[in-house]
């Protein structure tokens, strides 16, 4: 018996879906519950945690496992679980994945009917607002910074970068929602002002991509920046701290930048990603796995 039974579709799965499931399993390890992952496959082998896609097969598995939660990812697992939901004695959680992760979605009458029976949680990659956020690509922790052309501080940021020899890229917001693989390989930090900080969940998305955010906020509102966790806040580009943050970012080792990038992803995951989803089930996080906070 497991606290949670997770069903996903391994048939024709791509590397993005496989990584998502691996990351999801790793996050569950942080919490005090037992989880079993079972994949839809072309053959049934409970020893290998795989079953053929059928309502009877899933119902038999659920009755044998007796979980408190049945969690499904993808159109086919969602449909099967929704259709047997009247016979379930556990809580059902169905999740709609983005197309780049799942491929072509099932648009059959059964899938549409299942969607009416049980409402899906939706996962997105930053291109549109969804229930949860999981990025397709993440930062390579480059020493270069980025800022938006639409930012009212863009000229000031650029002039300062040129004066202090800071490697930078000026990009349109549209190129950031979501970013290309090339962009996140070339950029390691986002500099943004409070004038557009609330637009399109910019800060949350940047952290999900693995980018710490240096926020210029004359009124010193943090807009979701948790100092030392997912970025830093200054009131003006004239502050010595502003220059120091940029120079420190460019001067630190690649390993240190990668560690900060990873912690930014953890921060976003806690608020709108995998960790947020796992914690919503109500199980406590293991104390020995609690994260430390960066204060650099």
The structure tokens listed for 106 are: 């099932």
Rounded CA-CA distance 136/125 in Å is: 6
Long-range contacts of the stretch 277-283 (C-beta < 8 A, 24+): 277/27, 277/121, 277/132, 278/24, 278/27, 278/28, 278/30, 278/31, 279/31, 281/4, 281/31, 281/33, 281/69, 283/3, 283/31, 283/32, 283/33
CA 176 to chain centre: 15
Average pLDDT of the segment spanning 271-283: 95
What value does the mean pLDDT of the chain take?
A: 91
- Residues 91, 66 contacting (CB under 8 angstroms): no
Residue 156 or 290, more confident: 156
- Residues 169, 187 contacting (CB under 8 angstroms): yes
198-245: pLDDT as tens digits? 888 899 999 999 999 999 999 999 999 988 889 999 999 999 999 999
137-195: pLDDT as tens digits? 999 999 999 999 999 999 999 999 999 999 999 999 989 988 888 888 899 999 999 99
């Amino acid at each position: 018996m497991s606290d949670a039974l997770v069903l996903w579709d391994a048939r024709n799965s791509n590397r993005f879906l496989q990584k998502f499931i691996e990351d999801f399993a790793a996050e569950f390890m942080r919490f005090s519950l037992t989880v079993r992952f079972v994949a839809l496959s072309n053959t049934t082998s409970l020893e290998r945690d795989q079953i053929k896609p059928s309502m009877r097969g899933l119902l038999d598995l659920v009755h044998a496992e007796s979980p408190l939660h049945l969690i499904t990812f993808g159109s086919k697992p969602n449909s099967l679980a929704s259709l047997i939901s009247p016979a379930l004695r556990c809580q059902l959680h169905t999740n709609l994945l983005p197309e780049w992760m799942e491929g072509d979605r099932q648009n059959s009458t059964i899938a549409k009917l299942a969607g009416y029976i049980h409402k899906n949680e939706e996962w997105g990659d930053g291109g549109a607002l969804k229930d949860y956020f999981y990025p397709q690509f993440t930062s390579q922790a480059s020493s270069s910074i980025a800022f938006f052309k639409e930012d009212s501080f863009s000229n000031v940021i650029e002039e300062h970068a040129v004066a202090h020899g800071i490697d930078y890229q000026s990009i349109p917001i549209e190129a950031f929602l979501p970013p290309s693989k090339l962009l996140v390989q070339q950029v390691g930090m986002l500099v943004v002002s409070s004038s557009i900080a609330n637009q399109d969940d910019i800060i949350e998305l940047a952290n999900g991509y693995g980018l710490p955010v240096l926020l210029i906020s004359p009124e010193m509102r943090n807009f979701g920046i948790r100092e030392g966790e997912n970025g830093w806040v200054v009131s003006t580009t004239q502050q010595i701290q502003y220059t120091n943050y940029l120079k420190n970012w460019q001067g630190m080792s690649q390993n240190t930048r990668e560690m900060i990038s990873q912690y930014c992803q953890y921060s976003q995951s806690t608020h709108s990603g995998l960790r947020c989803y796992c914690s919503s089930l109500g199980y406590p996080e293991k104390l020995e796995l609690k994260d430390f906070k960066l204060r650099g």
